Amino acid sequence: MRLQNSDETYGKSLKLYRPQIALQIQAVRTEKSNASTVNIEIAPGTNHRYDWTNKTTLQVSLAELPLVCCTLLGMIPRTIHKYHGENKNKGYELANVGADDDRTLSVFSPAGRLFFNFTPVEGFYMAEFCLDALLLNFERLTKTDLMNLLKQTVVKGLPSKL
């Protein structure tokens, strides 16, 4: 795992690695509204050598970011988002059910589906990273306020069976 500060070109990022796959979550600003969100980049690999030229990249929308945060925090078990990319043919599913094999981020595109299983500690860093991105969109909220707001609005507003 590697946390990287922003530079003049790219926002801060969180990189996670497995022998066959790498995941990067990067802080970005949306093109249209200049709002804070994250990009998800996932690259296949072999023996810790990753093919970043054939990575799949998607931007988490502002409507999706609260659901991603709630899933990473364990407030909801999963969230699925489709119709990303120019051709609306990419998407992702994030699951955090609790068992080790049920903490997964999968990204799908015409090239196939890539899976990244994450540990509880990696989930902690992913949640903190995504919460920070969401928090930047609000001037007067603390992180505690944001988490309470997520619980009282997003979680309460979802059907009990997801």
54-88: pLDDT as tens digits: 999 999 999 999 999 999 999 999 999 999 999 99
* pLDDT higher than 70, residue 42: yes
Q: How far apart are CA 134 and CA 143, in angstroms?
A: 9
* Token couple for 73: 């925090």
The CA radius of gyration of the chain, in Å to the nearest whole number, is 15
Q: What is the pLDDT of residue 5?
A: 86
Per-residue pLDDT, averaged over 25-29, amounts to 96
What is the DSSP secondary structure assignment for residue 86, as one 8-state letter?
A: T
pLDDT confidence band for 37 (50 / 70 / 90) = very high
pLDDT confidence band for 9 (50 / 70 / 90) = confident
Q: Which of 79, 69, 37 is nearest to 149 (CA)?
A: 69
* pLDDT higher than 70, residue 47: yes
pLDDT confidence band for 100 (50 / 70 / 90) = low
More confident residue, 11 or 81: 81
